[in-house]
Copies of this chain bind each other. A is one copy, B any other.
Amino acid sequence: MSIDTAELPDADGPEDRPAPAGNPGWLSDDELSFVRGRMPVVYIEAVPVRLDGIGRVTEVGLLLRGTPEGEMTRSLVAGRVRYGETLREALFRHLENDLGPMAFPQIPASIVPTQVAEYFPMPGISAYVDARQHAISLVYVVSVTGTCNPRQDALEITWMSPEEALSEATLLELQGGRGTLLRQALASVGC
């Protein structure tokens, strides 16, 4: 499972950790593989930001991960929405998973996403590609306070200025079209 972590919107590895007993939202690898070939899978993605006292974005957080090939890539907080789980719960769960328990994400009052990204296994349908599946991702910009300590599979979170996040060099470090997605998400908050 860790093999395809790097190429995914599912930052915590889709099903690579134990689920609560009897949770129908947990899928075996075979089941997940079956479903992925037949249905769009719902994801959330989040761009963590630091805001100043009047709501301006001062810093943008990007996760740094290593691919199995030893390449370093940047990614957003991301993960699948499980059966029976609300979008807010999924958003909170993945933010906590990726940023650690001392980060305090301020989940927005509106669950309408900032942007919707449609990932397809076949290129050319949209700007976004995910070799494993057809994924529909609801994308949010989330203000985070506290201290971020990424979990195992992310090496670190890098906080950078909006300008740096929007630089060509940074955008190219995001995969599967997520450079475009980051640019669009930051546009919605005036960056």
Contact = CB atoms under 8 A, between A and B. Distances in A.
Given A55-B108, A106-B106, A39 B143 contact: no
**This chain: how many copies in the complex?**
4
Interface stretch (A2-10, A61-69, A110-118, A152-160): A110-118
B106 A55 contact: yes
A55 B105 CA distance: 10
Main secondary structure of the interface of A (DSSP, over half): loop
A129 interface: no
B113 A112 contact: yes
A120 B84 contact: yes
A108 to B, nearest CB: 6
Contacts of A53: 92, 107
18 contacts: A27-B38, A27-B39, A34-B34, A35-B38, A39-B41, A39-B42, A40-B83, A49-B109, A53-B107, A54-B86, A55-B111, A83-B134, A87-B136, A108-B108, A112-B112, A113-B113, A115-B190, A116-B138
The 8 closest A-B pairs by CB, nearest first: A55-B107, A187-B187, A54-B88, A184-B187, A109-B189, A110-B189, A40-B42, A54-B92
